[in-house]
Amino acid sequence: MSKIMINGNVFSSNDKEYIKDIKAIKKDNTITYSKDGIKVKIQLLDNKVLLERENDNMKLNLEFEESKKLVSKYVIKDLNLNIKIETKTNRLIIDKNMIKAQYDLFMNGEFSDNFIFELEWSEL
């Protein structure tokens, strides 16, 4: 287990989120951190990335594997509502200290938006 500093971005056509100088934990192939009350867990596999975002109100699971459309879910806890989410990963780069995913998001089979998720880290 090591302590790391992460920086990154999440861009869509409607929104921009910046991840700047956040302390995180990296254990084996998993990175965990918290930002704005949301717990984030990222699992780095050989050719796949699993992303989980959770707070008291919701839980979002996304999977990224290049050139594949994968089904995940978005849970709204207070309403006990499960929404089918699909990611179509157009490009995925997994490097030693960096990941980048360009993907399209579909909710209930309908196109929602396209995203770019970038994350870099260095040991503290």
> Cα(39)–Cα(75) distance, rounded to whole angstroms?
15
The pTM (predicted TM-score) of the whole model is 0.92
Q: How far is CA 116 from the centre of its chain?
A: 10
Which residue(s) pair with 22 in the sheet?
Answer: 6
Residue 20, CA atoms < 13 Å, CB-side half-sphere: 3
| Domain residue ranges in the chain | 2-123
Over the stretch 48-91, which tens digit does the pLDDT of each residue have?
999 999 999 999 999 999 999 999 999 999 999 999 999 999 99
- What amino acid occupies position 4? I
CATH of 2-123, one of 2.60.40.420, 3.90.380.10, 3.40.50.970, 2.40.128.20: 2.40.128.20
Output the 3-class SS for 28-52: CCEEEEEECCEEEEEEECCCCEEEE
Neighbours of 40 (CB within 10 A): 19
